[in-house]
């Protein structure tokens, strides 16, 4: 059974299991996994497998890049856009040069940025806020956050819109 691999479907599936930040971490894990597969394929001289793995990583990358919000994300969105362009170029170079060393460089770069996303996701899970600031609402009975006033709706603590 063959399934078509789509960055959008990967993002949608990941986002159903976790918060938006957690979904980003899972997508980075997916890219790292695919580049690792490409590296193994290079070592075993499996050119088609190397190509397929880098293409899957590219699809995930393009899915993340397509969700950047330049209006609200400011400089962070611009930096991530440049990072994604660099990684995309490097993934193409892996295929052109058949370079396991370049795979290691990409895995390292993705791992460093993944660590930052994981920290944000952990902060969000712990405090309800990606920056680690404590949620100002007090927990109500049943674990739901209580609203401060009649005009402020109650929101689930784990729901975050990713705008980068």
Q: Where are the domains of the chain?
A: 7-125
The per-residue pLDDT for 8 is: 63
Domain 7-125: top CATH class: mainly alpha
Phi, psi values for residue 131, rounded to 5°: -85, 0
How is residue 145 annotated by DSSP? B
Contact 13, 21 (CB under 8 A): no
Tens-digit pLDDT profile for residues 39-64? 999 999 999 999 999 999 999 999 99
As a whole-number percent, the residues of the chain with pLDDT over 70 amount to 70
The per-residue pLDDT for 123 is: 87
Contact 27, 60 (CB under 8 A): yes
Global pTM reads 0.71
Rg (CA), the chain: 19
The per-residue pLDDT for 127 is: 79
Q: And the tokens for 28? A: 């980075």
Give me the torsion for CA of 119, 125, 127, 128, rounded to 10°.
Answer: 110
Q: And the tokens for 80? A: 């991530």
């Amino acid at each position: 059974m063959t399934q078509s691999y789509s960055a959008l479907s990967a993002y949608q599936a990941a986002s159903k299991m976790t918060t938006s930040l957690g979904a980003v971490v899972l997508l980075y894990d997916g890219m790292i996994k695919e580049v690792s597969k490409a590296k193994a394929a290079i070592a075993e001289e499996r050119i088609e497998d190397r190509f397929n793995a880098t293409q899957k990583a590219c699809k995930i990358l393009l899915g993340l890049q397509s969700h950047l919000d330049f209006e609200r994300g400011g400089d962070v969105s611009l930096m991530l856009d440049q990072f994604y362009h660099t990684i995309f170029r490097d993934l193409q170079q892996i295929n052109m040069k058949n370079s396991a060393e370049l795979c290691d460089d990409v895995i390292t770069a993705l791992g460093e940025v993944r660590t930052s996303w994981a920290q944000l996701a952990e902060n969000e899970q712990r405090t309800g806020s990606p920056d680690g600031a404590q949620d100002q609402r007090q927990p109500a009975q049943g674990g739901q956050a209580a609203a401060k006033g009649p005009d402020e709706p109650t929101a689930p603590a784990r729901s975050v819109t990713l705008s980068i």
